[in-house]
Structure 1
Amino acid sequence: MTLRPLMSALALSLMLAACGGKDDHADDHGSEAGHGEEEAVRGEHGGRLLEQDGYRVELAIAESGTPPAYQAWLYRDGKPLPATAGSVEVRVVRLGNVRENHVLQPQPDGSLLAKSVVGEPHSFDVEVLAKVEGKSLRWAYDSYEGRTTIGAKIAEDSGIRVAPVRAGTIADEHEVQGLLTPVEGRVANVAARFPGPIRRLAVNVGDRVQAGQTLATVESNLSLTTYSVTSPISGVVLARNASVGSVAGEGATLFEVADLSSLWVDLHIFGSDAQHIVPGVPVTVTRLSDGATAQTTLERVLPGTATASQSTVARATLENADGLWRPGSAVKARITVEQQPAAMVVPLASLQTFRDWDVVFVRVGDTYEIRPVELGKRDAQQVEVLSGLKAGDQVVVEQSYLVKADIEKSGASHDH
């Protein structure tokens, strides 16, 4: 863990403690008996024992080899009753006032079992309505899992931020390396027209020059008069192969001037990746020196192969009006081969693990709760959610690990 996240986690822990710690969290992390009471009494099948007027209902969530479903056993004065001796209905209210009813039916093995599935997380307020040998019974308790409460001010100060789940696109991206080079046809080699000694040099390497600007003065050996060597283009002086007093040979290059207002990005693509990359797709170029990025479009895939690396070269043009991108610089780039729509996406920073699930944290009011999610395709920024959320759910998108840490600290229960 880096220093900054560690400090954030510590700050959150201290703020929660200052605001009441356990007491503030009791309702949301309550033991299986609910609201911080002692742990629920268990029956012979491992379920919660609910007792009233000499009758008992043992209630569990059956998960062995089947989707989770409520299962119950009936008792009178501690002795088992047949499943046909009564009826059981379990009503649950999930976070956000989502209500479910589970009606249990008699089974050949003597239990009552619901056909409806109890989806994860098993975190809700529970009401059990039973009728055993004509006696109406009712119990209510909370059974919370993966839930915590964090006040709005504490969440804000800790950097916890939420955003609604929405549709998006998942990009199929290839990350490659490349090199910046001047655009062909925008580099001028400036030579002396007539041989003779160089009398004056007007520019240095790195200077910006305009078309027609004097770069040097040479005295012609033929006419013994001086003439100006001028730049044919506007650009930057990349090289100067001259010194005052030296002799400029006829046709010898004295200066190299390049128009760097745009540059080529030559990207090296290896192996089978070359079969998927075609002109016209988006490219994000990153400068290795400082991480600056720029957007462009792939223009062409060159027909040959780079001899040294045996790679295919794909080329894009990068605008460089500020001159901060320099030829010869190494860069990395993400080539977006395809963008696929997704009904729901969340940032990668939203994802955490809880038990053996991939989860995100949904916020309702000041309460945060896990949502196990089934994931689809992902790219460098976000991931597709196939199930476990609905559009508009408020999901933690920053500092999700702080919410996870607070839930784990509370020891949230799992009532089966």
Structure 2
Amino acid sequence: MKPELLIAAGLLALSLSACGGADKTPQQTEAAAKKIEGDHAEQGGEHGEGEEEKAESTVIRNEIARRSGISVAPAGPGTVADEHEVQGLITPLEGHVARITARYPGPVRSLRANVGDRVSAGQTLATIDSNLSLTTYSIAAPISGVVLARNASVGEVAVEGTALFEIADLSTLWVDLHVFGADASHLRPGLPVTVMRMGEDNGVDTTLDRILPGTATASQSTVARASIKNADGLWRPGSAVRARVTVEQQPVALAVPLTALQRMDDFEVVFVREGERYSARPVKLGRRDAKRVEVLSGLKAGEQVVVEQSFLIKADIEKAGASHEH
């Protein structure tokens, strides 16, 4: 079994497993490689019967392409965003954090909430024996939210004015983005923003609410503030985040998704489908953003470009080129 063929089959097996198939054993992967080889043999070889092999193209049956997740879309006009990538911190909204203190000094009789608990407005959090009235009184949550801190223990004396609990409504959070230098002059309220966790490429979309008038003292940065919904509670105050701020959308005559690009022989290429043949097409590229890139030459509007699983086409062409060399 040729190693290149085994790799290509492994990629195909991975694609198929994403559609609900079971994990493949090494024996099943090798069997899949033989199956692909047999399928291509039935169609007269990868490049057609009696046709000279070309290292820059390959033939893949439509059914095989469909099962592998290979999809195409016509090249055409699009937009490329002028984006600024920045970093920031998640913080609670002002007015959505409550500090609960003892009204009168005295020993804590009971505590009824722990850090991380969700509580409702009016829910009893603790009872305290008052040293002044010699009666027991209750402390209730003034807002609904999550307990962020509990600074009391049963039996300890609660001192008047000292915070026993801290509660925050985290259903909506602020994202404070730190922008440096001249980039700050391009920002304004209403611009689209995508907020992402560190190490992740997908995030949530929102807009800039405001540009704060002051400067962050420690970093000497301008702070741009956006808000995000947090119904599932997965965004946590104090977490560092990345964000892409879209300053402008620029129309271009021809664009393709970044997923269409591959690199072959030091050239960036896309793969154009004609019938069941996929050909590598070197392209000259212009502006790009996080999702798409402008094509300046090498491609025409309307041509069918592979936009998903383009790496499988690259692997198949490279495998055919290696076979031809031997």
- TM-score interval w.r.t. the shorter chain? 0.7 to 0.9
CA distance in 2, matches of 1:353, 1:203: 57
Which residue matches 2:281?
371
Which residue matches 1:247?
157
The residue correspondences of 1:35-46 to structure 2 (distance < 5 A) are 35-36=51-52
The residue correspondences of 1:90-105 to structure 2 (distance < 5 A) are none
- Say yes or no: does 1:229 pair with 2:249: no
Which residue matches 1:260?
170
Per-residue CA deviation, residues 226-247 of structure 1 (Å, 9 max, x unaligned), is 1111121111111111111211
- Say yes or no: does 1:7 pair with 2:28: no
The residue correspondences of 1:64-213 to structure 2 (distance < 5 A) are 146-213=56-123
Which residue matches 2:37?
17
Give 1:284's match in structure 2, choosing from 163, 171, 194.
194
1:196 to 1:387, Cα distance in 2 relative to 1, 3 A: same
Which residue matches 1:61?
none
Unaligned 5+ segments in structure 1 are: 38-143
Per-residue CA deviation, residues 353-412 of structure 1 (Å, 9 max, x unaligned), is 455643211112111223333322111111112333333321111232332343345459
Asked if 2 retains the 8 angstrom alpha-carbon contact of 1:344 and 1:384, the reply is yes
How many residues get paired?
300
| TM-score, length of structure 2 as denominator length | 0.81
Asked if 1 retains the 8 angstrom alpha-carbon contact of 2:8 and 2:33, the reply is no
1:399 to 1:244, Cα distance in 2 relative to 1, 3 A: same
SS at match of 1:24: coil
1:256 to 1:367, Cα distance in 2 relative to 1, 3 A: same
Asked if 1 retains the 8 angstrom alpha-carbon contact of 2:77 and 2:252, the reply is yes
SS at match of 2:164: strand
Which residue matches 1:114?
none
CA distance in 1, matches of 2:135, 2:199: 48
1:242 to 1:411, Cα distance in 2 relative to 1, 3 A: closer
Larger radius of gyration: 1
Greater share of helix? 2
CA distance in 2, matches of 1:316, 1:5: 44
CA RMSD of aligned residues (A): 3.0
The residue correspondences of 1:339-350 to structure 2 (distance < 5 A) are 339-350=249-260
Supply the AA of the counterpart residue of 2:11.
S
- Say yes or no: does 1:334 pair with 2:244: yes
Greater share of strand? 1
Which residue matches 1:139?
none
Which residue matches 1:216?
126
Asked if 2 retains the 8 angstrom alpha-carbon contact of 1:176 and 1:332, the reply is yes
Supply the AA of the counterpart residue of 2:45.
D
CA distance in 2, matches of 1:243, 1:373: 68
- State the Cα distance separating 1:324 from its structure 2 match: 1.7
CA distance in 2, matches of 1:150, 1:160: 10
1:192 to 1:292, Cα distance in 2 relative to 1, 3 A: farther
1:204 to 1:5, Cα distance in 2 relative to 1, 3 A: farther
1:337 to 1:407, Cα distance in 2 relative to 1, 3 A: same
1:203 to 1:221, Cα distance in 2 relative to 1, 3 A: same
Which residue matches 2:297?
387
1:356 to 1:187, Cα distance in 2 relative to 1, 3 A: closer
- State the Cα distance separating 1:182 from its structure 2 match: 0.8
- State the Cα distance separating 1:349 from its structure 2 match: 2.1
CA distance in 2, matches of 1:312, 1:303: 8
Give percent identity, aligned residues only.
63
CA distance in 1, matches of 2:264, 2:197: 37
SS at match of 2:134: coil
Unaligned 5+ segments in structure 2 are: 13-28
Supply the AA of the counterpart residue of 1:252.
T
Which residue matches 1:352?
262
Which residue matches 2:18?
none
1:394 to 1:251, Cα distance in 2 relative to 1, 3 A: same
The residue correspondences of 1:55-70 to structure 2 (distance < 5 A) are none
1:380 to 1:235, Cα distance in 2 relative to 1, 3 A: same
Per mean C-alpha deviation after superposition, the further-off stretch among 10-19 and 379-388 is 10-19
